[in-house]
Amino acid sequence: MIRVALIGLGKMGLSHHAIINPHPDVKLVAVCDSSGYVLDILNKYVGIKCHTDYKKMLAEEQLDAVFIATPSRFHGEMVRAALDMNLHVFCEKPFCLDLTDGQRLMELAESKGLVNQVGYHYRFVATFQEMKRLVDANAIGRIHHIRAEAYGPVVLKPKGSTWRTSRSEGGGCLYDYASHGIDLVNYIVGRPHSVGGTVLSKVFSRDVEDEVYSTFYYPDGKTGQIAANWSDESYRKMSTSVTIWGANGKITADRQEVHIYLRDGSNEKLNLSKGWNTRYTTELTGEVWYYLRGEEYSAQIDHFIQSIKSGCRDTRSTFRSALEADLVAAMMIQDAKNSHVDAAFPAGIGSAPAKKGKLWPSFARNLLD
Amino acid sequence: MPAKTFLNYYLKESKVERILFGDNQFFGVNHMSEEKARAQAMKFQDIKAIIDVLDAAYDEGIKVFMCTTHERIGEVCDHMRAHPERYKDFQFYPCMPYAHKYANAVTEMGILEALKSFLPEEGAFNAMFKGGMSLAQKDVEGLGQLLIDAEMKMFHDLQTPVIFLQNVVTDLLLGLDFKEAFRIFADHVKNKYNAEPGFITMNMPKLLDVLEELGIENPIVCSNINKIGFRMCGGVDAYENAIAKRHFRPVAMSVFASGAIAPKEALEYVCQQEKIESIVFGASSRGNIRQTKQLIDQMSSYA
């Protein structure tokens, strides 16, 4: 039995708790949270050993691994404490808001040979895995564009003040929603080398962005775009999709299905016909031992546990890959501060003040003249 | 279980209706296609479109609407109350809660504030916290009852002989091993609403163990039951075995696995298992409703 503990009993923590607990290879030894009410209930009704001080828990309990599902600003110190005790670590996303800290933790985990995983659960959604498999098998030829979108109804009115509404704690649409899109892009086609045109706008929130848009650039000329908006009431829950265009067709995927369009002929090896092909989650998704709210949440935990058992250290969502997602998010925050091209009107046009904008392209001025 | 409750339970235990009409199609839920789900959400944004389909189902002889406590169901309830003659045999099997409402609110506000926002009045909640005592020491049962009452409010003066706990809550509690919550739910549903408790789950064999341990006899348990084993945790064999051998009232949902299995083949599989009491399905047109009902009726009669 793998002996594990869980730190953080918010939405993700409770969800992990309910999935870890019935796992046949795992003994959930103890849980830890700083706030009393959920802990009191679990202690009284569930009978699990509860701690309020994670350091004490790590010191007192005999553990093999720890799950960390606290707000992101605590990840750094908690992951370090766990690694220092030679524990395998599963940490919620986003991994580490401080990139230098994140890098040190990644190096520490790798040098110690400990299993390290971050909760980017979309990597465990069967449709996105299928998409990656097809891209890796060159099903649609040279990729020239990828687009990841995530929409949902989280902040729908001007209020709310949890850690999710504070950027410095890892909240906001960028860390909560867009980070999944970023990670999927990194997973499927690799990390962009630069970003541009980033927009981080508020719709209802006071302190964080509610919508995120950005363009990604790759050394080979490929581009990507990301769009995320957690203030979209037309979705009943978070909805994520990815579309990839290649020289020989395109693939689009969401949680339920994968559509593949092939331009030139069929691909027998991949069992794809010319034109449209559809694959559904019902045929792609493997069985899990316990279902709570999507196979992927169970699958990622099982992947972590099996990695510990088998000695495999290269999980599907490592600290290293999560750090790359953090890095792209950081690039986007930096980019959003950059100035944009101004609409400095040429003299004599409209009522705009005559301002000779150096960024106004000369061909446009010629056209207007 | 106290003797009185036990007796009461047995006296009113009844057969669950054979065919239940589901509501996924009305609220943009489709486990196979987001595009289809969106098209359906558009089609049914007018409550009249929902009522028309419910009328079709009712006129085809399907008396039960098994529905989430989505706020729009409130409008359906208003309609039924306004036409008592037309719907005198119409029954609701409410499934609570509409979980995304809670999940989105928890993301926005945190667990405690989210709970607070769904309770009928702040006073009741605040009363539980007075004197600085924690929730657990105070009254988890009371909180559970208030949450159930809040979800049941829209169904006043309507028939709700069975009340279900939604799978995301059932399976959260089951995974946590929070068994007491099932008892709280079952007792309150019986005592206050004179209804039978039902449990929706994706982990049926495991849930049966816990309900049995709690002494909840012959429970109504709704789970995916389909030929391809879609979202049937424990596997097809474990499900078939439990259905054949264990003492409970199985309700089959997702029998078509969101369209992955052809209707006839899908219903044959379910109807062959004699102990399955009910089948829930959703459809958007009278033609589909009639066809599905006919298939179930035919296969059930010679099963």
Q: What pLDDT shows up at residue A347?
A: 58
Which residue out of A23, A127, A173, A256 would a mutagenesis test of the B interface target, given it has the greatest number of B Cβ atoms within 10 Å? A256
Checking if the pLDDT of A353 tops 50, the result is no
Does residue B132 belong to the interface with chain A, where contact is any CB pair within 8 Å?
no
**pLDDT tens string A44-103:** 899 899 999 999 999 999 999 999 999 999 999 999 999 999 999 999 999 998 999 999
Q: What is the mean pLDDT of chain A?
A: 90
| Residue to substitute from B23, B36, B104, interface A, most A β-carbons within 10 A | B104
The predicted pLDDT at position A343 comes to 65
Element (H, E) at B77: helix B73-82
CB of A307 closer than 8 Å to CB of A313: yes
CATH number of A2-122+292-318: 3.40.50.720
Q: How far apart are CA A76 and CA A57, in angstroms?
A: 17
Tens digits of residue pLDDT in B238-264: 999 999 999 999 999 999 998 889 999
- What residue in B sits closest to A166 (Cα-Cα)? B108
Minimal CA–CA distance to B202: which of B237, B240, B167?
Answer: B167
- Write out chain B residues lying below 8 Å of A40, CB-based: 134-137
- What is the C-alpha to C-alpha distance for residues B145 and B151, in angstroms, rounded to an integer? 10
pLDDT digit string, tens, across residues A206-224? 889 999 999 999 999 999 9
**Residue range A293-303: average pLDDT?**
96
Task: Place A239 in a pLDDT band, splitting at 50, 70 and 90.
Answer: very high
Q: A293: closest CA among B111, B172, B204? A: B172
CB B189 within 8 A of CB B195: yes
Confidence of residue A240 (pLDDT cuts 50, 70, 90): very high
Asked if A287 lies within 8 A of B229 by C-beta distance, the reply is yes
Query: What are the tens digits of pLDDT across the range B190-241?
Result: 999 999 999 999 999 999 999 999 999 999 999 999 999 999 999 999 999 9
pLDDT of residue A163: 62
List, as own/partner pairs, every contact residues A231-236 make where C-beta atoms lie below 8 angstroms and the sequence separation is at least 24, other chains included: A231/A153, A231/A154, A231/A155, A231/A156, A231/A173, A231/A203, A231/A204, A232/A151, A232/A152, A232/A153, A233/A153, A233/A156, A234/A151, A234/A153, A235/A151, A235/A152, A235/A153, A236/A153, A236/B27, A236/B28, A236/B29, A236/B41, A236/B100
pLDDT value, residue A15: 95
Residue B260 has what pLDDT?
A: 87
- pLDDT for A47: 87
Rounded Cα gap, residues B33 and A151, in angstroms:
16
How confident is the model at residue A160, as a pLDDT? 56
Residues in A touching B100 (Cβ below 8 Å): 236-237
pLDDT score of B121: 60
CA distance A309 to A144: 39
Cis-peptide, bond into residue B97, ω within 30° of zero: yes
Q: What 3-state class would DSSP assign to A242?
A: strand
Contact between A160 and B108 using a beta-carbon 8 Å cutoff: yes
ipTM confidence: 0.87
CATH 3.40.50.720 in chain A: give the residue spans: 2-122+292-318
Is the minimum CB–CB distance between B187 and chain A shorter than 8 Å? no
Q: Which domains does chain B have, with CATH numbers?
A: 3-295 (3.20.20.100)
Q: Within chain B, which residues score under 50 in pLDDT?
A: 1-11, 130-134, 136-137, 303
Residue B80: per-residue pLDDT = 97
- The pLDDT of residue A109 is 97
What is the rounded CA–CA span in Å between residue A191 and residue A180? 13
At residue A86, the pLDDT reads 98
Confidence at residue A367, expressed as pLDDT on a 0 to 100 scale: 43
